[in-house]
Structure 1
Amino acid sequence: MNIALRQLKVFVTVAQELTITAAAEKLFLSKPAVSMALSELEKQLGHKLFDRNNNRLLINEQGKRLLPLADELLARSQDIEQLFSQEGPVTGKLKIGSSDTVGNQVTPFLLRDFRRDSGHCDQSLFIANTAQICHMLGEFELDIGLVEGKVQADNLAVIPWLGDEMVVACHPGHPLTKAEQLSLSDLEHSEWILREPGSGTREYFLGRLAPRLEHWHQAFELNNTEAIINCTAAGLGLTLLSRRAVEHAVKDNRLTILSLPLDMQRQYWLLFHKEKYQSPLLKLFIAFCQQWNSPLCQYSQKSADN
C-alpha cells in the first residue's frame, strides 16, 4: 500500500467541504482530479470513506476513523516543510475559532500578547457562534476553539478558561431604570432582543433567566452582538449580554445596566478535538491561553469575586 499525502489532503478537504466541486475549488484542482485521488485512496484502503447522497458526500464510520490520522499526517508534513523556512521556536499556521463575545472582546488581545511573547505571527481567526465552532473543530477545520457557550461533545476536550459576567441592559430611558430596587418579577412581560440558536449567550438566557420568568417575549433574534446593542439602545427591548460587550455602549450613555438579585457569572471554555495532533505550536498556544494574565483576566477574576 502506497498512500500519498496528496490523497490524504484531498480526503480531508472533501470531508470538510462535503462536495467534490467545493473541494476542487479549495485545492485549485479539477473535479476529475479530486474524484480520481479519492477513488484511488478508497481502492487502496479497500473501504469506502463517504456515503454518496446526490452531489453531497457524507463521511461514514470508516472515514471518521481515518480523519484524525490523516489530519495528523498532514500537520506533521507541514511541520517538516516549514522546519527550516521560518525563524523562531515554533512554526506552522494556527487556526483559531472563537464565539462572538470571546472573538470580539478577548481573543484579539490574547493574540496580541501571544505574538509578542512567542514571535509567531501566522494565525487565522474565525468568529461564529459556539455551535458552529464546535462543528468545525469536529471536522478538523480548526485547531482550537475559545467559546462562551456550554459545550457537550464527546469528541472535544473542554477546559475551563476565563470567567465572565452577564448583565441585563436597556435604553437609559426605559421605565425599569427608574426603580430604586429591582426584582426578577419586574422583568415580567418584557420584550427581549436575543442572539440566534447555537449562541452561548442565547443558551445562557434560556438556561438561567428565562426559567425564572413566567411571561416574556422575544422581540428580535439577531446573530450580531453590535446589532443587538443598537436595537436595545433604540428602545426596542431588553437584552442579556456580556458586561464586556456592552461596556462601550454604557460609557456612551446608549445603554444602562440593570441591577438584579441574580448571580450571572459564566465560564469561557477552551476546546480542541481529543484526537487532534498537538503540534509544538498548538501545545504552546494552549499553555499560553491557560496562563494568560492580561487586564481582561484580572477584570474577570474581580467580577467573579464581587
Structure 2
Amino acid sequence: MANRAPTLRQLEIFLALSEHKNISRVAEALHISQPSVSIQLKNLTDVLGMQLYNVNGRSVELTEAGEAAVNSAREMFFSLDKLHIELDDLKGIKSGVLKLSVVSTAKYFLPILLGQFCKRYPLIDVELNVGNRQDIIKRFNQNKDDFYVFSQYPESDNVIAEPFLDNPLVVVAPANHELTKKMPISLTRLAHYPFLLREKGSGTRRCIDDFCKLHKIKLKAKMTIESNAAIKHSVAAELGLAILSSHTLDYMQDSSLAVLDVEHFPLKSQWYLVRTKNRNQTVLAELFHEYLQQEGLSTLQKIAKAKAQG
C-alpha cells in the first residue's frame, strides 16, 4: 500500500484541511459529505504511511509529515496549472489564473491596472486576495500566489522585491478644516490635532511611526482604524486628521477631504512587487510583470491627471 501514489482528489482535500483546520468546513467548502472527506483523508494517511494530522476537539493540527505533504501538494498543483498555461501559450492562447495578494491600500490602484491587463488578455482569470499586512505575509510564507504587493515587504531570504510605484503619504483633513487656511503647516502645530491612525503593523503605520521617531514628535492618536475607507469617512465627519497613501485619494472625486501642506510631507514610500524565489513564474505571471514594467505606471498617471483636471 505504501507504494501507491496519492490521488489529486486526496491532495486537494488535504490542502483544504490545512486551510480550514476542520473536517466539516472542508466538506462545506468542497461540496462533499463529511464521511467522504474522512475516508479520503484516511486513505491518504494509509498511502503515505505516516500520521498527517491530529484532531484537537473540533480543530485539526498538522504534523510535521502533514506540513511536508501540504508543501508537496502545493508544488504539484502549481506545476499542473503551469503546464496548462504553457500548453495554451503554445496554441497562441493567453489564459489561466493569475494569483495576486495585496495589502489593503493597494486595492485603490491595482484593480485599475488589472482592468487594462484583462482587456488585453480576456481569457485569463484573476484571483485577487486583499488583506492586512499580516494576512498577506502569511500567504507569502505559504507561497500561495504569483505576486504580492507591499509598501513594506517581509524580511526573508526567499523574497524578490522590485519597486514599481511611488507611494507618497499625505496629511488629510476635512475640506473645511481650519488648517486649510493656515498652510504651510509646521510639525509642531500639527501635533496639537487629534489623528486617526492605521493599526500597528500596517505598512502605513510603520512609516508614520518611523517618521515621528526621526523628527521626535508624538501624534495625538484619537482612534485606531483598520480600514482606509473608514478613516476617510471619519476624517470627513471631522473626527480627526489622518495620514494616508495618496493612492487612496488619487482615482476618485472627493470634495469632502483636503490634502494639507505640511513640512516634510508627503512622506516618501514605495510600492513593491514581490514574489518568492522558490516559485517558478508562469507565462501569465511573466506577462503581468512585463505589463507593469512597460505600461502600468503610465496608466495610473493618466487616470490621476484626468481626475486632477476634472
Measure, in 2, the Cα distance between the counterparts of 1:247 and 1:79. 36
Q: Show the counterpart of 1:48.
A: 51
Determine if contact 1:8/1:74 at 8 Å carries over to the other structure: no
Residue type matched to 2:275 in 1? Answer: F
Structure 1 residues 33 and 211: alpha-carbon distance in aligned structure 2, compared to 1, 3 A threshold:
farther
Structure 1 residues 87 and 258: alpha-carbon distance in aligned structure 2, compared to 1, 3 A threshold:
farther
Measure, in 2, the Cα distance between the counterparts of 1:277 and 1:36. 33
Indicate whether 1:132 and 2:142 are aligned: no
- Of residues 209, 225, 229, the one that matches 2:228 is 225
Residue type matched to 2:93 in 1? Answer: P
Q: Show the counterpart of 2:97.
A: 93
The Cα RMSD (Å) is: 3.1
Indicate whether 1:181 and 2:184 are aligned: yes
Structure 1 residues 213 and 178: alpha-carbon distance in aligned structure 2, compared to 1, 3 A threshold:
farther
Determine if contact 2:103/2:130 at 8 Å carries over to the other structure: yes
Q: Show the counterpart of 1:75.
A: 78
User: Which secondary structure does the structure 2 equivalent of 1:223 belong to?
Assistant: coil
Measure, in 2, the Cα distance between the counterparts of 1:81 and 1:195. 41
Q: Show the counterpart of 2:61.
A: 58
User: Which secondary structure does the structure 1 equivalent of 2:167 belong to?
Assistant: strand
Normalised TM-score (structure 1):
0.83
Structure 1 residues 200 and 143: alpha-carbon distance in aligned structure 2, compared to 1, 3 A threshold:
same
User: Which secondary structure does the structure 2 equivalent of 1:252 belong to?
Assistant: coil
Structure 1 residues 20 and 277: alpha-carbon distance in aligned structure 2, compared to 1, 3 A threshold:
farther
Output aligned runs, 1:125-164, within 5 Å. 125-164=128-167
Measure, in 2, the Cα distance between the counterparts of 1:88 and 1:56. 46
Measure, in 2, the Cα distance between the counterparts of 1:16 and 1:171. 42
Determine if contact 1:88/1:119 at 8 Å carries over to the other structure: no
Shift of 1:272: 2.9
Number of positions where the alignment pairs a residue of Structure 1 with one of Structure 2: 300
Indicate whether 1:27 and 2:24 are aligned: no
Determine if contact 2:96/2:284 at 8 Å carries over to the other structure: yes
Determine if contact 2:169/2:244 at 8 Å carries over to the other structure: yes
Structure 1 residues 127 and 107: alpha-carbon distance in aligned structure 2, compared to 1, 3 A threshold:
same
Q: Show the counterpart of 2:107.
A: 103
Measure, in 2, the Cα distance between the counterparts of 1:209 and 1:87. 55
Unmatched 5+ residue regions in structure 2?
Answer: 306-310
Output one character per residue of 1:9-39: Cα deviation in whole Å (capped at 9) or x when no partner. 1121111222222222111222222222223
Normalised TM-score (structure 2):
0.82
User: Which secondary structure does the structure 2 equivalent of 1:122 belong to?
Assistant: strand
Structure 1 residues 252 and 61: alpha-carbon distance in aligned structure 2, compared to 1, 3 A threshold:
same
Determine if contact 1:195/1:221 at 8 Å carries over to the other structure: yes
Structure 1 residues 273 and 38: alpha-carbon distance in aligned structure 2, compared to 1, 3 A threshold:
farther
Determine if contact 2:170/2:266 at 8 Å carries over to the other structure: no
Moved more, 50-59 or 7-16: 50-59
Q: Show the counterpart of 2:269.
A: 266
Residue type matched to 2:264 in 1? Answer: P
Structure 1 residues 68 and 278: alpha-carbon distance in aligned structure 2, compared to 1, 3 A threshold:
farther
Residue type matched to 2:99 in 1? Answer: K
- Of residues 151, 171, 174, the one that matches 1:171 is 174
Structure 1 residues 194 and 291: alpha-carbon distance in aligned structure 2, compared to 1, 3 A threshold:
same
Determine if contact 1:103/1:127 at 8 Å carries over to the other structure: yes
Determine if contact 1:250/1:256 at 8 Å carries over to the other structure: no
Q: Show the counterpart of 1:201.
A: 204
Measure, in 1, the Cα distance between the counterparts of 2:162 and 2:250. 27
Determine if contact 2:151/2:203 at 8 Å carries over to the other structure: yes
Unmatched 5+ residue regions in structure 1?
Answer: none
